[in-house]
Structure 1
């Protein structure tokens, strides 16, 4: 949750994960690389008070 300069509240749901990949180099060596991924699942304005009920409704609206 955050608000813009006009104090309009927003909610964003993001996902972050690390993927392991093998890299084979020209000299034949093999190394493991860790790659960080980030994705935006959803984003919306939350026009009412920040009560648990309203935040839960916004969360469910984003993920459904």
Structure 2
């Protein structure tokens, strides 16, 4: 499985708000818009993003083991 496909498969394992935030970020959507789309305050964005990235990294490790 290629890197892109592996990343997509890993994102599919994430809870929807985290996956949506990461996909929107990959598309270049601004932080305030992403925060509004996932229902968090803009001030919480950095922490939310850090959690999303950590969850994605864990899901990618799982995908490599499959």
- Band of TM-score, shorter chain: under 0.3
* TM-score with structure 1 setting the length: 0.26
Larger of the two Rg values belongs to structure: 1
Question: Which structure carries more strand by proportion?
Answer: 1
Indicate the structure whose relative CO is greater, using CA pairs within 8 Å and at least 6 residues apart: 2
* TM-score with structure 2 setting the length: 0.25
